[in-house]
Amino acid sequence: MINTRKLLLVYTGGTIGMKQDPDSLALKPFNFDQIESEVPELRKFGYHIDTISFDPLIDSSDVEPAFWVKLAKVLEENYYTYDGFVILHGTDTMSYTASALSFMLEGLAKPVILTGSQLPIGVLRTDGKENLISSVEIAAAVKEDGTPYAPEVCIYFENQLFRGNRTTKYNAENFRAFRSANYPPLAEAGIHIKYNKSLIRYPAIDTELKVHTRLDTNVAAIRIFPGIMHQVMDSVIETPGLRALILETFGSGNAPTKSWFLNTVDKALKKGIIVLNVTQCLAGSVDMDAYATGLELKRMGVISGHDSTYEAALAKLFYLLGKYTNNEIVKSLLSKNLRGEVTL
């Protein structure tokens, strides 16, 4: 039986798409139209794989919301032509992009797998080939009823498939570059790819894709640290047009109890600025009922980010602020699990 699965491979930039120039020995992007000549193993799947390369290619450190909009539109324009999508992306901001797409692609019913590598695909010890090959296999994989195994925005890296909006890049050198500390892997690749189906979000039957491209970036973030100056806090909340502030707090959502700090937070809230409490810890959750400092923030009207990553909290705010001008609606939805980004 001929396998007729159709996949779209989108190369946006990043380390994975580099190979060594034989003359200069410098690393240069290769032509992704010839991806099967660089990774001939892909032919063995028998899938129909088309490619799109961004022009110009994007260093992931230069990623901005306009890039997410462009990427979402590519997926929207090709959504009904292909069975799954693999996005090759630089690792530095991959978790931000995956988080943003998870909110922008409402009603997603097909796999969107982001992957990349720590070493270029043209280097002998590259991790890029395995990441790409397994991502392609996962993007095409279907259950017995013909529906995809993983119809989510995911990151595949070093034998593990994660929900994209649960990930954080935590290692700049190791091949296992990403973690999902507060949610288990959706699949693990060994001799076989084992899917944890009970952890995967499956859409309702006949769900229609709705793409949201209006993002409001009037958001700031302050990472609390011992010795933080009130002038820093004051300058941030006086930013013209600011609609939301992410407070990266200690432990389970704790912050200084100094009067100037609490007064500044209260001032921000009275200015109509939404304040979202996200822990600095890589694992665990905000619990503003646990300690007096958290209770005071909760009393003032600070919203708990629960066990959200910073990347997901930022993307969620961009999405909700872009969709709603009414801050009360935004506050209400911040406290809900919209795309599997928090555990409630």
The residues assigned a catalytic role are 15
Q: Which two tokens stand for residue 29?
A: 């992007």
Reduced to 3 states, what is the DSSP secondary structure of residue 311? helix
- Whether the upstream peptide bond of residue 226 has omega within 30° of 0, thus cis, is no
In angstroms, rounded to a whole number, what is the distance separating the alpha carbons of residues 53 and 102?
Answer: 21
Residue with tokens 């290769």: 30
Nearest to 284 by CA among 305, 302, 315, 298: 305
Residue with tokens 């590519």: 74
Cβ-based neighbour number of residue 78 at 10 Å:
15
- Which residue(s) pair with 6 in the sheet? 48
What number of CA atoms fall less than 13 Å from residue 28's CA on the CB side?
A: 9
Contact 106, 338 (CB under 8 A): no
In angstroms, rounded to a whole number, what is the distance separating the alpha carbons of residues 173 and 170?
Answer: 9
Q: Which amino acid is at 220?
A: A
Cβ-based neighbour number of residue 126 at 10 Å:
20
Whole-number Cα distances in Å, 332 to 96, 204, 328, 337 = 23, 23, 6, 11
In angstroms, rounded to a whole number, what is the distance separating the alpha carbons of residues 14 and 89?
Answer: 5
Q: Which two tokens stand for residue 88?
A: 């090759």
CB-based burial, 188-217: b 16+ in 10 Å, e otherwise? ebeeebebeeeebeebeeeeeeebbeebbb
Reduced to 3 states, what is the DSSP secondary structure of residue 106? strand
